[in-house]
Amino acid sequence: MALVKRSKFWSYDFELFGRRYVGSTKRTNRKDAESAVSALRFRILNSVQGVPKHSDIPRLSELADRFIGWAEVNLSPATVVLHKVNVASLKKFFGGRLVTEIDVESVEKFKVWRASQKRKDADRNITAATVNRALTTLKRIYSYADSIDLALRNPVRRVKYLKESPGRMRVLTMKESDK
């Protein structure tokens, strides 16, 4: 990288990925000019490597709404209803966080928070299966983000699901067993 003083301003001349960049920093101080060129190189490198700008990163609530729109077209109605319920609890916990701010630790905190909630129709806590379905919805939201080319790491990928009870056992009636 060459930094040259032309008239009263410092000018830069450097090459990145076979492309030459030449221009004025519009700075009279050499140190200010060096930091301006450094910032320019950083922006160019990020744009070439596909790193999203901070303003391009959606909030979880926005991405979840887009996911629900996609799910209504591509998934069965019962699955969409399940995802809508789970998205409501995810929005309640994560609020307006950016999707890049959600990490494994925050997902673990969500798991604990969700498991400690009471059911609406009973005095019991929510089951492990309910918590796991919410984690699955969050995981599918990040998979959806990957499908629309948002380069995000899926924080749910490394989270262990809760151990579920075997479920209810259904006993056949005499008529059913005779059939």
pTM for the whole thing? 0.65
Q: Is residue 25 part of a domain?
A: yes
Residues 79, 32 share a domain? no
Residues 78, 109 share a domain? yes
Q: Is residue 173 part of a domain?
A: no
Residues 148, 64 share a domain? yes
Q: How far apart are CA 33 and CA 54, in angstroms?
A: 24
CATH number, position 63: 1.10.150.130
Percent of the chain with pLDDT over 70: 94
Residues 145, 60 share a domain? yes
Instruction: Provide the pLDDT for residue 78.
Output: 95
Q: What is the pLDDT of residues 89-148, one digit of tens each?
A: 999 999 888 888 899 999 999 999 999 998 888 888 899 999 999 999 999 999 999 888
Interhelix angle 77-94/60-74, nearest 10 degrees: 180
Q: Is residue 170 part of a domain?
A: no
Which own/partner pairs from 91-94 qualify as long-range (CB within 8 Å, at least 24 positions apart)? 91/60, 91/61, 91/64, 94/60, 94/61
State the Rg of the chain over Cα.
Answer: 26
Q: Is residue 13 part of a domain?
A: yes
Instruction: Provide the pLDDT for residue 49.
Output: 57
Query: How many domains does the chain contain in total?
Result: 2
Instruction: Provide the pLDDT for residue 82.
Output: 95
Q: What is the pLDDT of residues 4-16, one digit of tens each?
A: 888 899 999 988 7
Q: Is residue 6 part of a domain?
A: yes
Q: Is residue 94 part of a domain?
A: yes
**Full residue range of the structural domain in which residue 109 is found:** 56-158
Residues 38, 80 share a domain? no
Residues 135, 115 share a domain? yes
Q: How far apart are CA 87 and CA 144, in angstroms?
A: 14
Residues 123, 95 share a domain? yes
Residues 92, 75 share a domain? yes
Instruction: Provide the pLDDT for residue 41.
Output: 86
Instruction: Provide the pLDDT for residue 171.
Output: 87
Residues 95, 118 share a domain? yes
Q: Which residue has the tokens 């032309």?
A: 6
